Every structure is written in structure tokens, then in C-alpha cells.
Structure 1
């Protein structure tokens, strides 16, 4: 009997379908993993921006996680938009309760259009309660600056910030370099000792909504399938590049990537 790998996303709902749990579940499915979810907040948004954010009570988030994991289980899980400190602490408690060791933390802070998706006072809770549970944390450079307290405008500063974030407890730090200037994008993975660099050409497009969610979901799916971490990061990178290259050109603003992208 074939065992199907299972992954859980703990994140916000994107009514436009390009990010959040919608992007995560589509990505899980495309990569052959059964996806479950715990919704932390409901957003009203489209490709032009976020019109409203409505967080759920922490106890509702806890109950979703508990009901799913006590029955279906998960080989890996990811967090996305958590919004406030109460939800972060509650999620961390459930992660520890169920012994989820393959946890991908995508520290979602700000939407493409500038809407705040993590309250300022929640950043300390993220550092204290969730990062020490993470197998890998996947910040973009603005998020990495916030977590590390360092300015990042060069690859060497990316490595310095990765060291600082690693000291917060995450076992691996995946620094996404898309915000640096230049025709090539260099992403850097740090395991506490060694750095692994992955480079690809910059794709000129406005359709990049949900790239962080989709990348971290692809990484979570690969970890659920027991793919070794460095190889899982490389596969997730190839998936998001293909997803951006073949974006379906939806909406008048920052459209979604292609969640049915095909990669080797």
C-alpha cells in the first residue's frame, strides 16, 4: 500500500487565490502531497491589494490544528501569515505538542501592496516562540532585516544576517535574494556552518504575488516526501522559477504565479 505524504499549512486565506493557504494547497497538490490547513486570518484582497484583514481567535486556530493532526497527521508543516503574538504562541504550542520537527517558517510580514500582515509586537513572539522550532526559515530580505536587525544590500550582508537569524534557533536559514539589485538573483541557504548558493536569472514580470508562500509550500511538500533539505530547497527553487516564468497573467495588479507549473 502506497503511503501518501501529508503536509499542513497554518496561514491566512487569500481571497484572490494567489497566496496564503490557497497557494499552499495548490502547490502541495501539484507536488503530489495531501494538504491540510489551519486558517489564521481571512483577508479580502485581489491582485491590486489587501482591503481587509480579519484574524481568527487563537483558540480557533488551535482547534483546527489539533483536529487535523490528531487524526490525519502531517510529515511536514509550514506557517505563513500569523498576524499577532497570541496566534504565534498558540501555534508554537501545537507544534511542540504534536512533535512536528519538519517545520518551515515563512515569516510573512508585509503584502506586495504594503499592507501589514504581522503586528509589530508579534515580531518578538515570532523570534522567541516559533523560530526555535523551525527546520528552516525562509525570509525575503526586508523580513531578514527585521529579524536580524541588520541592513542587507550585498550578498555578504545576506550571509551576516543568516548567521544572526540562525542564532535565534532555526536550524536552517534560507535567504531569498530577490530584493537585491542586478540581473541575477542569488539565494543563500545556511545550516549553521556552511553556505549553499543558488542563482538564477531575474524574470521581468509584475506577476509575482504569493512567491514566498508558493516557494515555502514547495519546500514543505518536498520535506514531507522526505527529500533531503538541500535537495528540497533546490527543487522548491526550480518550482517557483517555473511558476513565475509561466504566470497566468491574471488581474490588473500583481498577479499570481502558476501553481500548476511542471518541473523535473
Structure 2
């Protein structure tokens, strides 16, 4: 595949922020985001929202970072280093979501810096990572600020009430998500397990764009959603259009799935480390 341009040694790379939780097992969250950023030649900026206690078997618990610290991380970086794109992951609570939205608007980032919202509601094992009361904050506070939202099918159902089972219901879900305010909505089809393909559908309120890939047969797919969103945000920071950025992110996560490896006694992570061997 073709990659994003790497910075010349000594030159400042593009800067992309992850606003997400820390995964102690290293498979998802900010750890997955930073691996993708580094291997795409992007400088990582971080606002940690929560610290999880997890391994390859599941999430044992998490601790929310105080909202003033979360806001402070975003403010410190935006006022000094500058942010060229950002993506969100685990946000845990309505208070955290409201704080991020308020900080994003307050520092003039809304509408100027591409924001990819990956609405993480639960881990791949089904462990909750978002308080149920926070769904309304996602819909009303953060989605209207988003350049792109990237839910999986379980998250689509929680956010819209639509059960995606085929291409028709996938289009219904994309329309419902877009009506919540983002510029673009991506309905990922990776959880349509009956299909030999992984069809993703992008919608801007007028036109649909379809992205397909042959499903990679692996049980090691921890962090796939984070990786897709991080790669897409990286492409947006380089000036890609949203459809081109999503196409790049789709190709990147497919290769990361192809390179996934076992870890511990459960699900291993998708791996961006394949690029080191090229």
C-alpha cells in the first residue's frame, strides 16, 4: 500500500492528538493510537481521559482522570505545539465528554481542526467503557463537533437504535448518525460476521461512499477501531479529503489485521509493527 509521507530528519512532523484512555495491556487505546501515529511518521499528542486495568482477557476496571486535568492537557498542547487533527476514544462519562466539547470550542479548534470521534462504548469483550448516561452527551455535545464519527455496529445500535444486518439497514444507520450532527458518518461493517467481506459505508448527508476489504480471518483484532480512527486522523492532518482519509485508514487497518499477533491468553492486538519489516 502507499503510505503518508515521512518527515525529513530534523523537520517537524504533522501533529495529531489522541483523546482517549490508557490500555494497560497495550493493545488498544492511546497505546494503539501512538503506534499507528509513530509508524506513519506522525508526532503523537495525548490527552488521557481514563486509565484502564485490562489485559488480553478483558477490562477489570478503570479510573477516570479529573476533568480539569483532561481540559488542561488539551489546552497546554493546543496553545503551544498546535494540533493538526485529533481523534477520540474512550471518554467514560458525560462530564468528560462535556469538558472535551467545551474545551474544543473554547480554544477555537471546532471547525478548524479535523476531529474523528470513535464513540467507544464497550471493549471487544463487552466490558462497559462508557456510562449509559453519557450516550446523550456523545449525541448532543461531541457529534456536532466531529468531522467524522466511526462507530462499530454495536455502538451504532446503542446510539441510533438501529440493528445493522445488511446494506439497507447500514444506510439507514448512516443517515441516523449523520442527523446527529457530524459532517460525515462512517458505519463500519467489521462485525457483520456472516459476510466474507468487511464493508464500511461513509455518508455526508447527500452521497454514500463504500469501502470494502476481504475479511481477515483472525481472532486477534484488539484495537482495530482505534487503529482505523488514528490512521484516518493522520491522513486528515496531511490534508486528505474525508473519503480519501477513510480509504487510507481502511487499507492501513487491513494490513494491521493481517499482521496481528497472539498475546496473553485472550485476544491479541492488530499490529502496525509490520511496517518495520518493510
Interval of TM-score (by shorter of Structure 1 and Structure 2): over 0.9
| 1:1-264 → structure 2 map (5 Å cutoff) | 2-100=11-109, 101-180=113-192, 181-262=194-275
Give the alignment's TM-score, normalised by structure 2.
Answer: 0.92
What SS class does the counterpart of residue 184 from structure 1 fall into?
Answer: coil
* Structure 2 CA distance for aligned equivalents of residues 230 and 33 of structure 1: 20
Consecutive unaligned residues of structure 1, counting only runs of 5 or more, are none
User: What RMSD, in angstroms, separates the aligned Cα atoms of the two structures?
Assistant: 1.5
* Structure 2 CA distance for aligned equivalents of residues 98 and 144 of structure 1: 30
Aligned residue for 2:7?
Answer: none
Aligned residues: 264
Preserved CA contact (<8 Å) 2:187 2:200: yes
* Structure 2 CA distance for aligned equivalents of residues 130 and 44 of structure 1: 26
Q: Structure with the greater relative contact order (CA < 8 A, sep ≥ 6): 1 or 2?
A: 1
Task: Give the drift of 1:250.
Answer: 2.1
* Structure 2 CA distance for aligned equivalents of residues 122 and 116 of structure 1: 12
1:45-80 per-residue CA deviation (whole Å, 9 max, x = no partner) reads 111111111111111111111111111111001110
Preserved CA contact (<8 Å) 1:239 1:262: no
Give the alignment's TM-score, normalised by structure 1.
Answer: 0.97
Task: Give the drift of 1:230.
Answer: 1.0
What SS class does the counterpart of residue 111 from structure 1 fall into?
Answer: coil
* Structure 2 CA distance for aligned equivalents of residues 242 and 203 of structure 1: 9
* Structure 1 CA distance for aligned equivalents of residues 257 and 107 of structure 2: 35
What SS class does the counterpart of residue 60 from structure 1 fall into?
Answer: helix
Preserved CA contact (<8 Å) 2:259 2:272: no
* Structure 2 CA distance for aligned equivalents of residues 188 and 212 of structure 1: 15
Task: Give the drift of 1:3.
Answer: 4.7
Consecutive unaligned residues of structure 2, counting only runs of 5 or more, are 1-9
Tell me which moved more, 252-261 or 30-39.
Answer: 252-261
1:202-233 per-residue CA deviation (whole Å, 9 max, x = no partner) reads 11111000100111011111111112211111
What SS class does the counterpart of residue 261 from structure 1 fall into?
Answer: helix
* Structure 2 CA distance for aligned equivalents of residues 16 and 161 of structure 1: 32
Tell me which moved more, 186-195 or 147-156.
Answer: 147-156
* Structure 1 CA distance for aligned equivalents of residues 207 and 78 of structure 2: 34
What SS class does the counterpart of residue 199 from structure 2 fall into?
Answer: strand
What SS class does the counterpart of residue 87 from structure 1 fall into?
Answer: helix
Task: Give the drift of 1:2.
Answer: 4.6
